[in-house]
Amino acid sequence: MGRGDLPVGVEEILVSQEALARRVAELGAQIGRDYAGRSLHLVGVLKGAVTFLADLARALPLEDVTVDYLAISSYGRSTDTSGVVRLVKDLDEEIADRHVLIVEDIVDTGLTLVYLRDQLAGRGPASLAVAAMLDKPQRRRVDVPVEYLGFEIPDRFVVGYGLDRAGHYRHLPYVAAVRP
């Protein structure tokens, strides 16, 4: 272990496990109200959104929820976004006429979400919205709507709660800043 009880390389906790749990419960209740009486199809963006999706799905007071995943990659340096986004694993199911909620880990430049919203909107869903756990508004390069947002964070590279650096740290139950 590194500094205090933190793993080596982790500098500072930005969002605690307790704060994440509280916010996910609030978002679940809000989404539950907004989609009351409807079927909701969650689309998780692999791999970073898996933890958030697992918690959010269980916080939804809805009767009918389904889940699917897609994976995307962006070319360029691993801790920066090059702006070129590619679908590397498509959804297993059709989304036409379904109420789709994209579940994303973090919105940075916004380029990934613009691409995803565009891709999925073209398939004719009944509705399309986005839930993102984290947002770095200072880094935004394109305007993109995020209907359900967990936390705004400063422009630092973060790991934990599903987010990795080179495959590591996804298991941490909090969001923490690391050296980029």
Q: By CB under 6 A, name the binding residues for ligand 5GP.
A: 48, 81, 104-112, 157-159, 163-165
CA dihedral 130, 133, 137, 139 (to 10 degrees): -100
Question: Which residue among 55, 105, 108, 135 is the active-site one?
Answer: 108
Q: How far is the CB of 2 from ligand 5GP (least distance, A)?
A: 18
Q: 38 or 139, CB closer to ligand 5GP?
A: 139
108 is known as an active-site residue: yes
Q: 35 or 150, CB closer to ligand 5GP?
A: 150
Kindly state the tokens that stand for 16. 């605690």
Q: How far is the CB of 51 from ligand 5GP (least distance, A)?
A: 12
Q: 60 or 144, CB closer to ligand 5GP?
A: 144
Radius of gyration from C-alpha coordinates of the chain: 16
Where helices occur in 59-138 by DSSP H, the ranges are 111-121
Q: Are 82 and 74 in contact (CB under 8 A)?
A: yes
Return the number of other C-beta atoms located less than 10 Å from residue 4's C-beta: 8
Q: How far is the CB of 45 from ligand 5GP (least distance, A)?
A: 6
- The DSSP element (H or E) to which 23 belongs, if any, is helix 17-34
Q: Which residue numbers are catalytic? A: 108
